[in-house]
Amino acid sequence: MKWKRSERLVDMTRHLLEHPHELIPLTFFSERYKAAKSSISEDLTIVKETFEEKGTGKLVTVSGAAGGAKFVPQTTEAEVRDVIALLKDELGHSDRLLPGGYLFMTDLLGNPRIMDRVGKVFASAFADREIDAIMTVATKGIPIAHAIARHLNVPVVVVRRDSKVTEGSTVSINYVSGSTRRIQTMVLSKRSMQSGQKVLITDDFMKAGGTMVGMKNLLEEFGCELAGIAVLVEAVHHEEVLVDNYLSLVKLHGVNEKDRTIELDEGNYFTKGGN
């Protein structure tokens, strides 16, 4: 059955959105829709212009025999500001204050729509970087890692605090937690990464950056390279942060347990070269 242009556009949009950072050959579309490559090229131009105009992302088209189209998710500055405003608004509620000056964030990390938007924001910032995997530490970083990974089309690697039989043989390192100065352990399955891979590390919260340093050390242990650091919330504190070149969406300046106030600000996303 031959497809109409309008039907092709709907299905093509879906297919491209479901396969970010993947070159889809023109032949794939022309066979699927039983249409000439010239018609497919025209369709792709429409999709490309709409995606780019509305800030959905870039559509990179490659011409020639091995030609095709690749959807690269991108976020507009307005969307990033929207996501940051939403996070600041959500995190600013005084009932999030926990004893010890911690913030309850679990519900945000469990919200798939917010995670998807956060993931797209970070994936856009790192879209031009060569990235082979996203690394995070269990448990809270996992939704963010998966959200970024989906938009970049790369796997997620989860570091654990403890070794488990279902991980097979593992590599383990000790590191010093930045803020509490305690010695902690990180464990990663040997099969998780191959030497030479470029890895983006991410977490929901960063204070002194000890966990990030731990993950960096683990990368070295595997002969991998750090490709970037993405943090949802960074807590501003007196000592120097142990890592640099990280990207954050929100800064937590401080909490006042007595007045029950939470002081939040925009992270370094725009100043550190996101978008």
List the structure tokens of 118. Answer: 């956060």
Coil, helix or strand at residue 171 = strand
257 binds a copy of itself, rule: CB under 8 A: no
Q: How many CB atoms lie within 10 A of CB 9?
A: 16
β-bridge pairing 198-206 and 183-189: unpaired
Q: What are phi and psi of 146, to 5 degrees?
A: -65, -35
Half-sphere exposure of 78 (CA within 13 A, CB side): 3
Closer residue to a copy of itself in complex, CB, 49/273: 49
* C-alpha span between 275 and 15 (Å, rounded): 25
232 binds a copy of itself, rule: CB under 8 A: no
Closest separation in Å from C-beta 2 to a copy of itself? 13
The piece of 142-150, 171-179, 227-235, 264-272 that touches a copy of itself (CB under 8 A) is 142-150
116 binds a copy of itself, rule: CB under 8 A: yes
* CA distances (Å), origin 42, targets 5, 37, 66, 273: 10, 9, 17, 34
Pick one of 36, 98, 180, 223: the residue that binds a copy of itself (CB under 8 A).
Answer: 98
183 DSSP β-pair partners: 176
191 binds a copy of itself, rule: CB under 8 A: yes
* C-alpha span between 66 and 23 (Å, rounded): 10
Site string for a copy of itself, 43-72 (x = CB under 8 A): ---xx-xxx-xx-x----------------
Half-sphere exposure of 124 (CA within 13 A, CB side): 22
Closer residue to a copy of itself in complex, CB, 65/165: 165
Coil, helix or strand at residue 61 = strand
Pick one of 106, 180, 185, 217: the residue that binds a copy of itself (CB under 8 A).
Answer: 106
Closest separation in Å from C-beta 228 to a copy of itself? 18
Pick one of 150, 209, 222, 246: the residue that binds a copy of itself (CB under 8 A).
Answer: 150
The piece of 2-10, 80-88, 206-214, 233-241 that touches a copy of itself (CB under 8 A) is 2-10
* C-alpha span between 42 and 55 (Å, rounded): 20
Residues that bind a copy of itself (CB under 8 A): 5-7, 9-11, 13-14, 17-19, 46-47, 49-51, 53-54, 56, 98-100, 102-107, 110-113, 115-116, 138-140, 142-143, 146-147, 149-150, 153-158, 160, 165-168, 189, 191-192, 205
